[in-house]
Amino acid sequence: MLSVQNTDTPVTFSPELKAKFADVVSRYPAGKQKSALLPVLHLVQAEYGWVSAPAMDAVAEYLSIQSIEVYEVASFYTMYFLKPQGKYMLEVCRTGPCEIVGATPIMEHIEQQLGVKEGDVTEDGLFSWRGVECLAACGFGPVLQIGPEYTFYENLTKESVDTLISDLRRKAGN
Amino acid sequence: MARKLLLEHINVPGINTFDVYRSKGGYAAVEKALKTLTPEEIVEEVKKSGLRGRGGAGFPTGMKWSFLAKPEGVARYLVCNGDESEPGTFKDRFLMTYIPHLLIEGMIVSSFALGANTSYIYLRGEMMPQIRILEKAIAEAKAKGFLGKNILGTGYDLELYVQPGGGAYICGEETALLESLEGKRGNPRIKPPFPAIAGLYGCPTVVNNVESIAAVVPIINDGGEEYAKIGIGRSTGTKLISAGGNLKRPGVYEIELGLSAEEFVYGDDYCQGIANGKRLKAVVAGGSSVPILPANLFLKTINNEARLMSYESLSDGGFATGTMLGSGGFIAYDEDQCIVRNTWNFARFYHHESCGQCSPCREGTGWMEKVLHRLEYGHGKMSDIDLLVDVSKKIEGNTICPLGDAAAWPVASAIRHFRDEFEWHVTSAYEATTRNYGLAHYADPLNAVVA
């Protein structure tokens, strides 16, 4: 089960996570540890499912930068979730090449199957979905991706989406 | 059959592993470069090859390299641009997924040529699977002595790292990419200074597309002059074209530049025509930002010459009747596609991806999206069409980076070539919400130009 971070509680990163941070920081010259910010935020999101304000403050402290430097980055890039999402966030490409091979009907089908609007979370906490811009898989559309591994599902049909959703439900049930 | 320089071994089982890649002649360019060539000689070979930047701009790679400042005691960087986010473009993802060592090999040779001891491959964050693939390939190459300290006993040191982005189209612009790599928002920098003088951490930096760096491998193996023999005119070598949309066989194709456009769309070795027996209505030849062309103008130039897949032929006629090769992101539209809807979709994309730094782009992209939305949904006015052209002209050329132009061109070109379809969305507003305009005259033979 995904641990959802309460927004007000301070975050303490585990030694394992901090070891991953340190590995990232080692890639840059001394004093340029701010370069680690984007990869570190990905690691935080993979751990907690989203990026909370206390988590961002802890990242700032770890990288010896100001909190605002983390907030402005986390809010600029689209991959970071600033509020909790479903365990599985289905991100469907909605840009031109996917659109002309049927992205909109796929999103409508997902909305219907999950029973939640774009950006909302299903009651069981398992699913969210949203349309995203071009995922660079234009020859295999429609496509969707699911973090934190960012597994790709290509050439989507309503049937393959149904199978995917029921597979994920089964996986979560274990 | 066309020569393949990048994808020759793409179907060999296990080519994504070091050993199989090596058994097919892989890393020979590293041995040749580090043991027998000087950095200057490598730059010279790349200049001779005529290689032009494969990310979209088409700027000669060798010339870009020769601009790199080399102040004493200052680190220099090579950064590979794998942000690939231009709608229609998926060639770099393909290359990195299936033959990652080609990019690693190109990075080693190019880093040596530029005198870089630390290099970064910046990938868009959504490419986490490709990041894992590349990190595995880097570890393999390092274990075999092709990366790290004293590579192949030549005394040359190189560390190579993969950096994820966070989901932002703008980071494909090289200075925005450098900002992002420094852990900041992807706001493009004002140039000058160019990255060649002050790039990553203020140090001299070269930023090259994935495919450009991969192309350095055959250039070093065969020599720049051999590479330049392939292609046509100033469009030398091979190019990856990622073809999507309503094609019978979409995918990534390596073409010799100069292939006829008709052969590319209909040929058995390429896309095999339009899916479901339909007819071609329009083409975006080089990624969403290049001007869209109706089928007739894509297949033939205004002078009734066959259009070729090359930098020069695709831009023949300028923006009035031509387009650009761009990134090689090829999108085909069949007769059932609505140009107004597609233009609205692209406008929304650019509005979403504008970094917000320059007001003409930040505000203009939003206006274009809104006006196109009302045209598509039956609430448009005839004056909206000229309004869109007006807004696009006020964005174009008035922004720090080319995203403004990239947002303006698709709208301006769609209206230039498909104006009657836009007008029909106003005059037959209700009907336009129930059916598409169809092929109309967009594939008809062109009228002879009378001077």
Which residues of A, range 100-119, sit inside 8 Å of B by Cβ? 100-101
CB neighbourhood size of A173 (10 A): 7
A136 in reach of chain B (CB within 8 A)? yes
pLDDT for residue B447: 73
pLDDT greater than 60 at residue B451: no
pLDDT for residue A2: 41
- Suggest the residue from B93, B128, B278 to mutate for an interface test with chain A (most A CBs closer than 10 A): B128
Query: Could you confirm whether domain B235-334 is CATH 3.10.20.600?
Result: yes
Matching CATH number, B339-434, of 3.90.320.10, 3.40.50.170, 1.20.1440.230, 3.40.50.1820: 1.20.1440.230
CA distance B363 to B157: 47
A73 in reach of chain B (CB within 8 A)? yes
User: Hey, are the CB atoms on B183 and A96 less than 8 Å from each other?
Assistant: no
User: Hey, are the CB atoms on A34 and B182 less than 8 Å from each other?
Assistant: yes
Domain ranges of chain B: 18-229, 235-334, 339-434
Could you give phi then psi for residue B246, rounded to 5 degrees?
A: -85, 60
pLDDT digits (tens, 9 = 90+) for B21-31: 999 999 999 99
pLDDT greater than 70 at residue B448: no
**What mean pLDDT is predicted for residues B48-69?**
96
Element (H, E) at B421: helix B403-427
pLDDT, averaged across chain B:
96
Angle at A69 between CA A68 and CA A74, to 5 degrees: 90
A30 in reach of chain B (CB within 8 A)? no
State the span(s) of chain A assigned CATH 3.40.30.10: 88-173
Candidate from A99, A132, A138 with C-beta closest to B90:
A138
Q: Which CATH class is domain A88-173?
A: alpha beta
Q: Would residue B145 be called left, alpha or beta, if left means φ above 0 and alpha means ψ between -120 and 50 degrees?
A: left
Tens of each residue's pLDDT in chain A, 174 residues = 344 455 677 899 999 999 999 999 999 999 999 999 999 999 999 999 999 999 999 999 999 999 999 999 999 999 999 999 999 999 999 999 999 999 999 999 999 999 999 999 999 999 999 999 999 999 999 999 999 999 999 999 999 999 999 999 999 885
State the span(s) of chain A assigned CATH 1.10.10: 15-76
Q: Is A34 annotated as a binding residue?
A: no
User: Hey, are the CB atoms on A76 and B163 less than 8 Å from each other?
Assistant: no
What ipTM was assigned to the predicted interfaces of this complex? 0.95
Partners of residue A144 in chain B, C-beta under 8 Å: none
Tokens of B378: 């039956």
pLDDT for residue A10: 86
CA distance A139 to B125: 20
CA of A19 to nearest chain B CA: how many angstroms apart?
A: 17
- Suggest the residue from B126, B170, B246, B336 to mutate for an interface test with chain A (most A CBs closer than 10 A): B126
User: Hey, are the CB atoms on B126 and A37 less than 8 Å from each other?
Assistant: no
Nearest CA in chain A to B353: A133
pLDDT for residue B2: 80
CA of A6 to nearest chain B CA: how many angstroms apart?
A: 24
B349 in reach of chain A (CB within 8 A)? yes
Q: Is A134 annotated as a binding residue?
A: yes
DSSP-assigned beta bridge partners for residue B204? none
CA distance A20 to A42: 11
Q: Which of B108-122, B147-161, B326-340, B436-450 has the lowest mean pLDDT?
A: B436-450
User: Hey, are the CB atoms on B333 and A100 less than 8 Å from each other?
Assistant: yes
CB neighbourhood size of B248 (10 A): 16
- Suggest the residue from A138, A143, A154 to mutate for an interface test with chain B (most B CBs closer than 10 A): A138
Q: Is A1 exposed, middle or buried (0-12, 13-18, 19+ CB in 10 A)?
A: exposed
B346 in reach of chain A (CB within 8 A)? yes
Partners of residue A101 in chain B, C-beta under 8 Å: 244-246
A97 in reach of chain B (CB within 8 A)? yes
Q: Is A101 annotated as a binding residue?
A: no
pLDDT greater than 70 at residue B449: no
CA distance B160 to B104: 8
Q: How many residues does chain B have?
A: 451
pLDDT digits (tens, 9 = 90+) for B363-392: 999 999 999 999 999 999 999 999 999 999
- CATH fold for domain B18-229: Rossmann fold (3.40.50)
Partners of residue A76 in chain B, C-beta under 8 Å: 166, 168, 185-186, 355
User: Hey, are the CB atoms on B244 and A72 less than 8 Å from each other?
Assistant: no
Candidate from B89, B251, B352 with C-beta closest to A136:
B89
pLDDT for residue A9: 79
CA distance B55 to B326: 7
pLDDT for residue A5: 52
Query: Could you confirm whether domain A15-76 is CATH 1.10.20?
Result: no
pLDDT greater than 50 at residue B155: yes
User: Hey, are the CB atoms on B127 and A150 less than 8 Å from each other?
Assistant: yes
pLDDT greater than 80 at residue B450: no
The 3-state secondary structure of chain A reads CCCCCCCCCCCCCCHHHHHHHHHHHCCCCCCCHHHHHHHHHHHHHHHHCCCCHHHHHHHHHHHCCCHHHHHHHHHHCCCCCCCCCCCEEEEEECCHHHHCCCHHHHHHHHHHHHCCCCCCECCCCCEEEEEECCCCCHHHCCCEEECCCCEEECCCCHHHHHHHHHHHHHHHHC
Which residues of B152-237 form beta strands (DSSP E)?
Answer: 159-164, 205-209, 231-232, 235-236
pLDDT for residue A56: 96
Among candidates B309, B306, B317, which has minimal Cα distance to B285? B309
